[in-house]
Amino acid sequence: MAQSTAADAPHIAVAPTNRRRLGRRALRPILMLGGILVVAVASGYFWLTGGRYVAIDNAYVRAAKEVLATDVTGIVQDVPVREGQRVGKGDVLLRLDPHPFEIAVAAAKANLGGTVSSLNAMKLEYKRMLGDVAVKEAQVESDRANFERFAALVKSGGVTRSEYDNARYQLAANQQSVAALKIAAEVQLARLGGDPEVDVRRMSDYLQAQARLEEAQRQLDHTVIRAPFAGIVTQVDTVQPGMYLAAATAAFGLISTDRVWIEANPKETELTYVKLGDPVHLTVDTYPGRSWKAVVESIAPNSGSEFSILPAQNTSGNWVKVVQRIPVRIVFERKPGDPELRAGMSVEVEIDTGHRRSLHDLF
């Protein structure tokens, strides 16, 4: 009996092992197909929900900046700011020696006063000329009366022929004098613009003198350079008191602290669904862990290469297509306590386009 049990034992152990092997073989293709299906479903899900965000690392902080200069030439008198100083709009940044310009203003004022006197004298001169014409015309009338009387007496011998001729020549000479005086008066009237009572402030000579005075005053005013906007001055040490500063020569720079934005340069293929007003999440490399909320303000109408000094020539035979980059301006919220953002800092931008893909996009 014991021998029969020992002989049947191997058959009892082999059956469960075979069943486990068969189960594993059947489970393997199921797991493989299931894994592929899971990957396919996950990929499809991520593809359908993807395409909404555009990540850009080619972005930088930009700020309004200006190279300060003046259009007058002079000696630097004072530089009341220092490197890196914050200034407000209208603050004095630089002064030139005003003395030469004050002299020019005084000369222009004197010239204007002299012009006014000359123009008023011209008006009086015209009136005097009219008086001379009237006097000469009265003389002509007297000469005509004498001539007519002599003409009546010369026939009867009451006057000599010589006296008659003298009366005739005197009348003709005075008539010519009247004509000359009238012409001179007309010339003077033309200088007055045809109006003997003209306001001298409307005459061309006065306007020219007034313009010279205004130009002299403008140059005097421009001896003081003021900040056109609030910002931080830089490269101040390039200008020192006593330095000769020629007109239009750059003095130093001013970087705005208020007009600051982000300029991103995405590829043209990334702008398919980007539009104005899209929300933006941005981070600055200088401040890890900090983020700002922003919005797309504008999209440039041209690529960055359009305004390059040597734009690409696409008509050559060896043309190679290069994906272009389109500048996008992004404005962000600035809150009290935010760290300082300086022009040129690197920024990473993520634009939420709100776009969702559909199966239609596959076909």
Q: Which token pair is 35? A: 């894994």
SS3 39: helix
Query: What's the CA gap between 236 and 250, in Å, rounded?
Result: 11
CATH code, domain carrying 137: 1.20.58
Confidence bin at 49 (pLDDT 50/70/90) = low
pLDDT at 1: 41
Secondary structure (DSSP) of 174-214:
HHHHHHHHHHHHHHHHHHTTT-TT--GGGSHHHHHHHHHHH
- Least confidently predicted of 12-16, 160-164, 328-332: 12-16
Is residue 37 situated within a structural domain?
A: no
Same domain for 109 and 212, yes or no, is yes
- For the four alpha carbons of 311, 314, 320 and 324, in that order, the dihedral sign comes to positive
Query: Are residues 131 and 230 both part of a single domain?
Result: no
Asked whether residue 181 is domain-assigned, the answer is yes
Domain of 301 in residue numbering reads as: 53-63+258-356
110 and 170 part of one domain: yes
> In terms of domains, do 114 and 188 share one?
yes
**Residue 301: inside a domain, yes or no?**
yes
Q: So what's the pLDDT on residue 166?
A: 87
Do residues 232 and 257 touch, judged by C-beta distance below 8 A? Answer: yes
Mean pLDDT of the 184-212 span: 90
Structural domain includes residue 35:
no
Statement to judge: residues 88 and 233 lie in one domain: yes
Mean pLDDT of 274-290: 93
Asked if the structure places residue 3 within a domain, the reply is no
Co-location of 216 and 116 in the same domain: yes
Containing H/E element for 257?
A: strand 253-264
Provide the domain count of the chain: 3
Question: Tens of pLDDT along 81-100?
Answer: 999 999 999 999 999 999 99
- The single-letter code of the amino acid at 348 is E
| Per-residue pLDDT at 329 exceeds 90 | yes
Asked if 209 and 245 sit in the same domain, the reply is: no
Phi and psi at 292, nearest 5°, equal -130, 145
Q: Do 120 and 215 have their domain in common? A: yes
- Does 337 lie in the same domain as 244? no
Q: What is the pTM of this model?
A: 0.67
Mean pLDDT of the chain: 85
Q: Which of the residue ranges 34-38, 181-185, 261-265 would you say has the lowest mean pLDDT?
A: 34-38
- Where residue 241 sits, what CATH number does that domain have? 2.40.50.100
- Tell whether the model's pLDDT for residue 42 goes beyond 90: no
User: Could you say which of 211, 233, 251 is where a domain stops?
Assistant: 251
Q: Which residue has the higher pLDDT, 45 or 214?
A: 214
Is the domain of 217 the same as that of 104?
Answer: yes
Judge whether residue 307 has pLDDT over 80.
no
Q: Are 349 and 264 in contact (CB under 8 A)?
A: yes
Q: Residue 273 class from Cβ within 10 Å (0-12 exposed, 13-18 middle, 19+ buried)?
A: middle
208 and 230 fall within a common domain: no
Domain-located, residue 111: yes
In a domain, 138, yes or no: yes
Of 181 and 9, the structure prediction assigns the larger pLDDT to: 181
Distance in angstroms (rounded) separating the CA atoms of residues 73 and 269: 51
Q: Which pLDDT value is given to residue 294?
A: 95
- pLDDT range class, residue 316, cuts 50, 70, 90: low
Position 189 in a domain: yes
* pLDDT for 37: 78
Quick one: 218 and 229 in the same domain? no
Give the residue with greater pLDDT, 108 vs 314: 108
